[in-house]
Amino acid sequence: MTRIELSVAALLLGGYALFLVAIFGAVWVRASKRQREAAEAESVAPQVREALVEYLAGSNLQTRIREFVASHRSAVADGILSFQGTVAGSARDRMCDLALDLNLVHEWCKDAQSRDPVARRTAYARLAFVCAYEPCRRVAGDLLAEALHDDDREVRLPAARALVQAGNIQEIGQVFQIAVSQSMLIRILLTEDLRRHAPELCESVVPEALKSRDSRELVPALQILVAWERALPLSGVLELLQHRDREVRIEALRLAPLVPPAKEIQSAVLRDLTDPDPELSTVAALSAGRMRLQEAMASLARCVRTGTAELARIAAAALAEMPPRGWQTLQELAGGPNPTAAAISSQALARARQKAGV
Amino acid sequence: MEIAAVAVPILVQIAALALFFMGAGMFVVLLKGCFVLRRMARSTPRDYKEVLLKSPMVPAVSTIAIPRDASEESRQFTRRLLDLHFGRNEVVIVLDGPNETELETWIRELRLTASSRPVAEDLPMAPVRGVYESRDPIRVVVVDKESGGVADSWNAGVNAASSPVVGILEPENEFEPMVLLRLIQPMLESYEDTIAVCGVAPPPPAEGMAAQFGALESLRAWLTRCAAYSERNMLLPIPGCGVLVRRDAVIHAGGFTGGKLELFMRLHALALAAKKPYRIAFLPQPVSYRRVPDNFTDLRRMVMRDQREIAAAYHNRSFIAGPWGWQALRELYCARSVRPKLEMALYLLAVFGLVAGWVDVYLALLVLLSTVAMGMVLSMGAVVLREVVDPNSADPKRMAAMFFAAIPENFGYRQLRNLWLIAGFRGQAGRERKGSGKTAQGRPSEAAVSSQKK
């Protein structure tokens, strides 16, 4: 009996071991090959880049680049892509034209239909860069617009970024809608790209989005606007400051310093300073400071005296933003009977003075 | 005597077969881990750390440090935390009952000044003696509190944290400066559902037997406890991992009762009880890993520390996670408690039986096959499977060195490790019985888990 068990166990383990040794051999060969290829690519990459830089600098000699395309096609594609974010205008167009000339763009369009998700993603990432150039866009056709509805997020994202770069306002609006409706990661990644189109978007796309009755759409839209951190020609913020959903109100309060000043908006911020919800009043204090709301000084002083420690600190920081009256108020609070308020006020005052070099 | 002559070979046979099947089960888990990692490698999004670094929309993170003392090593660790690349990273340092000299050292080191900043009391903790902030333009908060133990200090750190996400990195880990940016990305993919992210990869192979054995240990844990368990959303942290966890989730869980393992069990249990979709994401990238041990003393410390944490979680499983405690820990319990005990008992019985003539040479070979040979297959399998997942991970020479290190690992070290595991588990059990554990304060009750269920 034991001998049978031993034989079975030995057979099974032997089988495992043989299987593992075989895989080990295969993996070892593959790893060695990859190591060689990586070393080669590492040595070729600077030469490819050098050739591309020469081409960008005005040289029309493509012989060297064509040689690289024949021997290290992927290295050339990576080299072209490495200029993303560093070249713009005519230099970028020249680079895209080269990719078109070398037949790389057609190849990437073909790869975009691949079943291999990694190949597709790479293809779209490359197309996203070159499609800023009109002739390349013509070759790509509707690929990018269709990719906006792809199941793979890593395909949707480069397509959306490419459309923001070179699309018309309708397409950019579509990207804004995607940013609003998808995950926070996508929102963050698209927000920066959309920022430079803020004025056009504020004409129709954003006001339309802000009319939504669904807080799940409103909050992300407001988050994008706040993250743009730039003056926005927007109206209709007052309604959002009075919204029934506190999350919407909080984001609208954050947005208040970025929209054209209006008496009603200032009043809404002042009102929220005294709101019993500590988060709401804290954000209101933050906005009051950014808006330099002189009318808010009394409320801010009260927040320093009676608010939660977090609110008191923010209110003190807001007062510190409004010299000389804000500083005077802080000085009075620093000498007051409430030890916490006094400590917070003197710290805020000291920081403000240090910042101002006084 | 006659009964023993019949019973011993039968017992040896049963135990050997049981160990063989446990090993086979472990191999299946390793394979599962490999498939999960392979799938993740194909679907993992690109790295967007440059964009995330600049975006104001990325949630702020409070990275908590619990330095044991004010030594150079501890100070260097906090400096490493302050050097992390992240838009809004605040470092919260909790000093657990420091003496005057230690506090003075920290004040000098970070140019601290007393602060009026409040420390919330969301979680139970020992009384806070003072809060300090730096005069330099660095975002650091130091909480000086009465001594209360490690779990108590973590709770104080969470209380003092002002960010919605809390980062947990440990001094014995190697982590890259971009660790927070890399860890936050899976959280942002599904911010509402993701309550924690655990990022870790096996350490890079190093020279020396102790280092190789340590690397094999980490590799097996990575493939099983992280990768394979993450498939059924039951990920449990391993030594060396970097963790991001939502502050509100920690507070909802009642805070730390021990280490990260207990916290994760509790998070799983509460989320399962609430029957809401949740996710604890796994990032299988070398953002953080445990340093490989330099020598066998270091290796022993590493194994024992992990074992004690598992043992503490096991002994408190129903307390921490109610009915889900056993579900989360059953495989770990088999691998880390039952198997070493059974294996050592089997060795003793087999040797005794051989000497007495009750165990024949075939049975002895079966014992070796189900322990030593199975161990080799598992370790070699882990090395090969890792390479299948990520072909760019190591150079062939180092891979071969690790592959063949599985042979000496199972002759001598394996048996020694079994003794460490048994001692680690028993030691913790003793500590729990005496009630002198560090976790007594603020431990969430079973009723809390049950009430979630209702």
Q: How does pLDDT run across B327-385, given as a tens digit for each residue?
A: 889 999 999 999 999 999 999 999 999 998 888 888 899 899 999 999 999 999 999 99
Q: How does pLDDT run across B121-147, given as a tens digit for each residue?
A: 899 999 999 999 887 878 899 999 999
Are B90 and B134 contained in the same domain?
A: yes
Show the CA angle centred on residue A46, arms to residues A40 and A47, nearest 5°.
Answer: 85
Residue B227 is assigned to a structural domain of this protein? yes
Residue B324 is assigned to a structural domain of this protein? no
Q: Do A28 and B400 touch (CB under 8 A)?
A: yes
Are B104 and B251 contained in the same domain?
A: yes
Instruction: Report DSSP state, residue B133.
Output: E
The Cα A48–Cα A58 span in angstroms is 16
Instruction: Classify B61 as helix, strand or coil.
Output: strand
Distance from CA of B292 to the nearest CA of A (A): 23
Are B56 and B148 contained in the same domain?
A: yes
Residue B325 is assigned to a structural domain of this protein? no
CB B122 within 8 A of CB B251: yes
CB B228 within 8 A of CB A220: no
Ramachandran angles phi, psi of A253, nearest 5°: -65, -40
Are B52 and B200 contained in the same domain?
A: yes
CB B364 within 8 A of CB A2: no
Are B274 and B378 contained in the same domain?
A: no
Q: Do A5 and B55 touch (CB under 8 A)?
A: no
Query: Could you tell me the CATH number of the domain that includes residue B189?
Result: 3.90.550.10
**HSE-up of B184 (CA within 13 Å, CB side)?**
30
**What tokens does A166 get?**
């070179």
Are B179 and B279 contained in the same domain?
A: yes
Average pLDDT over residues B284-304: 92
The Cα A220–Cα A1 span in angstroms is 69
**HSE-up of B356 (CA within 13 Å, CB side)?**
16
B67 Cβ contact partners less than 8 Å away, ≥ 6 residues apart: B74, B75, B77, B78, B93, B95, B171
> Which of A 152-181 lie inside 8 A of B, CB atoms?
153-154, 157
Instruction: Report DSSP state, residue B412.
Output: I
Q: How does pLDDT run across A126-165, given as a tens digit for each residue?
A: 888 888 888 888 888 888 888 888 888 888 888 898 888 8
Average pLDDT over residues A193-217: 89
Question: Which of B313, B342, B376 represents a domain boundary (last residue)?
Answer: B313
The Cα B59–Cα B126 span in angstroms is 28
pLDDT for A279 beyond 70: yes
Distance from CA of A278 to the nearest CA of B (A): 14
A40 Cβ contact partners less than 8 Å away, ≥ 6 residues apart: A72
Are B301 and B441 contained in the same domain?
A: no
The Cα B179–Cα B411 span in angstroms is 37
Residue B326 is assigned to a structural domain of this protein? no
Residue A184 confidence (pLDDT): 92
Tell me, yes or no, if A185 comes closer than 8 A to chain B by beta carbon: yes
Are B23 and B71 contained in the same domain?
A: no
Residue B414 is assigned to a structural domain of this protein? yes
Q: Do B391 and A30 touch (CB under 8 A)?
A: yes
Q: What single string gives the DSSP state of each residue in B85-111?
A: --TTEEEEEEEES--HHHHHHHHHHHT
Q: What single string gives the DSSP state of each residue in B62-85?
A: EEEE--SSSSHHHHHHHHHHHT--
Question: Which of B313, B348, B367 represents a domain boundary (last residue)?
Answer: B313
Residue B236 is assigned to a structural domain of this protein? yes
Structural domain that includes position B178:
48-313
**What tokens does B16 get?**
């050997």
Of the candidates A4, A95, A117, the one whose C-alpha atom is nearest the C-alpha of residue A51 is A95
The Cα B133–Cα B110 span in angstroms is 8
Question: Which of B287, B313, B339 represents a domain boundary (last residue)?
Answer: B313
ipTM, two decimals, is 0.84
pTM, rounded to two decimals: 0.85
**What tokens does A220 get?**
């992300």
Are B111 and B237 contained in the same domain?
A: yes
Helix axes A309-320, A325-334, angle to 10 degrees: 140
Q: Which amino acid is at A242?
A: Q
Are B284 and B400 contained in the same domain?
A: no
Q: Is A81 exposed, middle or buried (0-12, 13-18, 19+ CB in 10 A)?
A: middle
Please state, for a pLDDT cut of 90, what percent of chain B lies above it. 63
Instruction: Classify B408 as helix, strand or coil.
Output: helix
Residue B442 is assigned to a structural domain of this protein? yes
Q: Which amino acid is at B68?
A: R
pLDDT for B392 beyond 80: no
**CA-atom Rg of chain B in angstroms:** 23
Q: Number of structural domains, chain B?
A: 2
Are B150 and B209 contained in the same domain?
A: yes
Instruction: Measure CB to CB from residue A9 to each of B42, B46, B366 and give the nearest one.
Output: B366
Average pLDDT over residues B235-252: 94
Q: Is A134 exposed, middle or buried (0-12, 13-18, 19+ CB in 10 A)?
A: exposed
* Strand B128-134 with B112-114, pairing: antiparallel
Residue A56 confidence (pLDDT): 83
Are B349 and B440 contained in the same domain?
A: yes
> Which of B 157-186 lie inside 8 A of A, CB atoms?
162, 185
Average pLDDT over residues B13-17: 92
Instruction: Classify B242 as helix, strand or coil.
Output: strand
Average pLDDT over residues B287-291: 91
Residue B136 is assigned to a structural domain of this protein? yes
Instruction: Classify B199 as helix, strand or coil.
Output: strand
> Which of B 355-384 lie inside 8 A of A, CB atoms?
360, 362-363, 365-366, 369-370, 373-374, 376-377, 380-381, 383-384
pLDDT for B444 beyond 50: no
Sign of CA dihedral B179, B182, B188, B191: negative
Helices (H) and strands (E) in chain B, counts: 19, 11
